[in-house]
Amino acid sequence: MIRFEQVSKAYPGGHHALKNLSFNIGKGEMIFIAGHSGAGKSTVLKLISGIIKPSGGRVWLNKQDLGTLNDNQLGFLRQHIGIVFQDHKILFDRNVLQNVLLPLRIIGYNGRQAEHRARAAIEKVGLGGRELADPVTLSGGEQQRLCIARAVVHQPSLLIADEPSANLDRAYALDIMELFKTFHEAGTTVMVAAHDESLMADYGHRIIRLQQGSLYA
């Protein structure tokens, strides 16, 4: 489903965040990306979601070379991706339900059916009953669940999460990992980046380890 072919990424200023990175991820896989802060995890996820482009090499998603797609084509492809961003991107002037409805509205999905889907996603992440809550009243773990509901509400085939359990107590962090496992078990390809490898240990899934933009064993 995803193929990195000798991918490098240099940011403006010349910092080489990724160096000749190659790997494959199969459809339906659950995979972790591990590495210390600055290793290049977010850069990998941003390349896959087409938010940034590689400086060298190719990134393939569903047999399409992302470097050859225009903005419209990338937008269409993104409709099949759910992203849990590191910085949440929760809209605090809207309630939980309105936050989760947003991705559906963007793809032109409105009305009762959209609300039904949003409520189902909220229920699925364990926030049932909090639909009308102001996000500021949610705990850190609950806010993360809100982000996950928003990422899955359009039923993406690929779910990407960047440090979804950062700043959470270990028990909450493991709960969040369990939640990703349920989406994987339902057939979604799931990629989770985190610096804490101990959170990944129990799952037995492949781990892509990054160090200074390169793979290490």
Ligand X SMILES: Nc1ncnc2c1ncn2[C@@H]1O[C@H](COP(=O)(O)OP(=O)(O)OP(=O)(O)O)[C@@H](O)[C@H]1O
Query: Is there a contact between 185 and 216 (Cβ–Cβ < 8 Å)?
Result: no
User: For residues 169-181, b (16+ Cβ closer than 10 Å) or e, as one string?
Assistant: eeebbebbbebbb
Q: Which is nearer to ligand X, 7 or 100 (CB)?
A: 7
Q: Which is nearer to ligand X, 127 or 159 (CB)?
A: 159
CB of 14 to ligand X, least distance (A): 9
Q: Give the Cα separation of 171 and 154 in Å (integer).
A: 28
Cβ-in-10-Å burial (0-12, 13-18, 19+) of 63 comes to exposed
CB of 214 to ligand X, least distance (A): 12
Residues that bind ligand X (CB under 6 A): 11-13, 15, 17, 35, 37-43, 86, 163, 195
Q: Which is nearer to ligand X, 118 or 159 (CB)?
A: 159
Q: Which is nearer to ligand X, 142 or 163 (CB)?
A: 163
- Give the count of beta carbons closer than 10 Å to the beta carbon of residue 9: 23
Q: Which is nearer to ligand X, 1 or 10 (CB)?
A: 10
CB of 26 to ligand X, least distance (A): 23
CB of 105 to ligand X, least distance (A): 28
Residue 147 is which amino acid? C
CB of 17 to ligand X, least distance (A): 3
Helices (H) and strands (E) in the chain, counts: 6, 10
